[in-house]
Amino acid sequence: MKWESEPGVAAGTLDKRPDIPSRSPMRKAPLIVLSVALTAALVYGVIITGERDALNTELTSVQSALASTQGDLSSTTRTLIITQSELGSTRQTLASTQLQLSVTMQALTSTQAELTSTNQKLSSVQSDLSYTRARMDVIDTKLKLYENTTGSKIYSGVQPQLRGARPIELVNNPAATDPTWQQLMSFLGADPTDDRIWTEGVFVSGDFAQVLHNNAEAAGIRAALVGVFFERQTIGHGLNAFKTADRGLVYVDSTGPTLEQSLRETLYRINGGTPIEWDKIAYMVKGKEYGIISIKKANSPEYSYYERVGKALSDWGRMGIVDSIQIYW
pLDDT in tens, 182-232: 999 999 999 999 999 999 999 999 999 999 999 999 999 999 999 999 999
For residue 44, which amino acid is it? Y
pLDDT in tens, 45-101: 777 777 778 888 888 888 888 888 888 888 888 888 998 888 888 888 888 888 988
Q: What is the pLDDT of residue 27?
A: 61
User: Distance of CA 221 to CAs 128, 172, 180, 254, 289, Å?
Assistant: 29, 10, 10, 16, 28
Query: Per-residue DSSP letters for 256-275?
Result: ---HHHHHHHHHHHHTTPPP
Q: What is the pLDDT of residue 294?
A: 94
Q: What is the distance of C-alpha 289 from the center of its chain? A: 56
Q: What is the mean pLDDT of residues 150-171?
A: 81
Please determine, for residue 35, whether its predicted confidence score (pLDDT) is greater than 70: yes
Q: Are strands 224-230 and 248-253 parallel, antiparallel or unpaired?
A: unpaired
User: Distance of CA 152 to CAs 141, 246, 249, Å?
Assistant: 14, 22, 13
Q: Output the pTM of the full model.
A: 0.57
Residue boundaries of the structural domains of the chain? 30-123, 152-328
**Cα(315)–Cα(95) distance, integer angstroms:** 91
| CA angle 297–150–311, rounded 5-degree value | 30
